[in-house]
Each structure stands twice: as C-alpha cells, then as structure tokens.
Amino acid sequence: MKIKSALFLLAGLLSFNMNVLSQDTNFWIFVCFGQSNMEGYPGIQQQDTTNVGSRFQMLAAIDFPKMGRTKGQWYPAVPPLCRPHCGLCPADYFGRTMVAHLPKNIKVGVVVVAVGGCKIELFEKDKYQAYASNAPSWMKNTIKQYDGNPYQYLVDMAKLAQKDGVIKGILLHQGESNTGDKEWPNKVKGVYDNLIRDLNLNAADVPLLAGEVVNADQHGVCASMNKIIDQLPKTIPNSYVISSAGCTAVKPPLHFNPAGYRLLGTRYADKMLTLQGYSDTESN
C-alpha cells in the first residue's frame, strides 16, 4: 500500500514538473472579466483590425465560427476578443500597448470572459446560481455560453492558458450594474481571492487592475459608481484603479466608443508596465 501511495505521489510530482517546464515564462497571460464594457460595445473600426503579429494572442473562450476560432486555442488578438458580435474592449489596446513597450522576446495573451449587464454577484461562488436564475432571458443566453457559471468557466480557461504561459495580472471592468453598492469592493475582493486560490497564484505577484466606468466628464450614466470603484485599493492591497477621465463614450453614455476603449486600454497597460518594472507610455 505504501509503495502504491509513493508511486501516485511520484506521478503527481512528475506531472506538475512537466507542466511547469512546458510553461513559457516569457508568455505573459492576463485574465480579463466583467460586464459589457469588458465584452466590448459593437463598433470595431478598420484601424483596430490590424494584426499586430504573434506577440499578442487571445485564447478563444468559446467558438467563433465565422472567424475560424475554436474554443481553447490561441489566435492573433484581433477584435472581438470576448465573443462573436462583441466589440473593441480594454483588453485590445492593453495588449497592443504592452507588446509595443516590452522586450521583443515577451509575448502577451489575454483570456476574456464577460457578461453584459451582470452584477459582480455573477462571479461570486456562493451567489451566482441565485443571481443567474433571476437574470433576464437575454443575459441567461450569454450565461449559457459559459456553461451556466462564468466564474468557473473563467478559471477553467485560465488554467488552460497556464499550460502555455504565466499569469501576470487580472483585468476587471465591471460596476455599472452595482452602481451605489458600497459593498462592491468587498465583493470584488472575494472574487479576486478566489481567483488567486483557484489558479494557485501569489497575490503579491498578480495585481488587479480595475477600470472606472464612463466618467462624469462624459456625463456617464453610472459615473457616481467611480467613487466606490476608487476605494478598491483600500480593500485589495495589490489593486489599482484605471481612470476613465477623458475616455469618450457613445450615447447614452454607458459604454465607451472605440476611441474611449483605446485610451482606457492603453492606461491599463501603462499601469501594468510600471508594475512589471518597465517605463509606461505616459498616456494622459
């Protein structure tokens, strides 16, 4: 019996070591989640469809039949990155800016799972079922694409990505549906802590970057939520808020327009580059 147990342990260690050895430490993975602004509002422009090469990749979280993308495979990161029929999102120009300012031997990959209109509760392990069961039919259709559990789906896709690279950060854009909820920072902390634990990460090495919703300077419908979002670093030490000031929006001003997404995504990258020890792009 002891010999059998020892063999199982040895097999487990060998499997773990092989997985670690197969990881490319120069392939930086970023896990992205949230609601509609992380999906990307439809309206991709020609300038955003340029393939920036193999250094910026996206892991298809679901199938994209018309684009020839298969779930679980890596592809050049050309929008949409979340699902078919979505648009440009912060992850697009985050990745483009990252590879433009990182050494040539470093690649960037993003994994995007987002559900338009959802509260942060949809990503809470103990609340998602109750929340999803009462969601409107259009949201339920999106949730179904993530096997009914977007959080676990995100974890599964991130684990798949970890076989090829190393998770270096988490990007969040969510909050519109929680406008006025002062418990939002604590709820986000719960989701972040679960991600760190479920993906076997070290919180000190994996910052959380959270973007503000459409700003008051754009007459943002949910702009009051930014005061709550700005409190996140008090709850999660290794978290940083990305300003949406000056990021233009569509009307009604709930979603950013392509120019707004470009600027916001670049700001996510500015902060991440600085945190990783590289000079940022000094975007305003």
Each residue's pLDDT tens digit, 111-122: 999 999 999 999
User: How do the domains of the chain map onto residue ranges?
Assistant: 24-275
Query: Which run of H or E residues covers position 150?
Result: helix 150-162
- pLDDT recorded at residue 279: 72
- Which H or E run contains 30? strand 27-34
Q: What is the pLDDT of residues 122-135, one digit of tens each?
A: 999 999 999 999 99
Q: Is the pTM of this model over 0.85?
A: yes
Question: Which positions of the chain have pLDDT values less than 70?
Answer: 1-21, 280-284
pLDDT at residue 3 in the model: 57
CA angle 35, 253, 80 (to 5 degrees): 45
Query: DSSP secondary-structure letter at 213?
Result: -
d(CA 175, CA 154): 18
Bridge pairing between strands 74-76 and 56-59: antiparallel
Report yes or no: 241 and 235 within 8 Å, Cβ to Cβ: no
Q: What is the pLDDT of residue 16?
A: 45
Peptide bond before residue 252 is cis, with ω within 30 degrees of 0: yes
* CATH architecture designation of domain 24-275: 3-Layer(aba) Sandwich (3.40)
Q: Which residues pair with 111 in a beta bridge?
A: 31
- Res 165: pLDDT: 98
Alpha carbon distance 84, 100 (integer Å)? 26
Cβ–Cβ < 8 Å for 72, 123? no
How far is CA 18 from each of CA 15, 21, 130, 155, 215, rounded to the nearest angstrom?
5, 5, 39, 21, 47
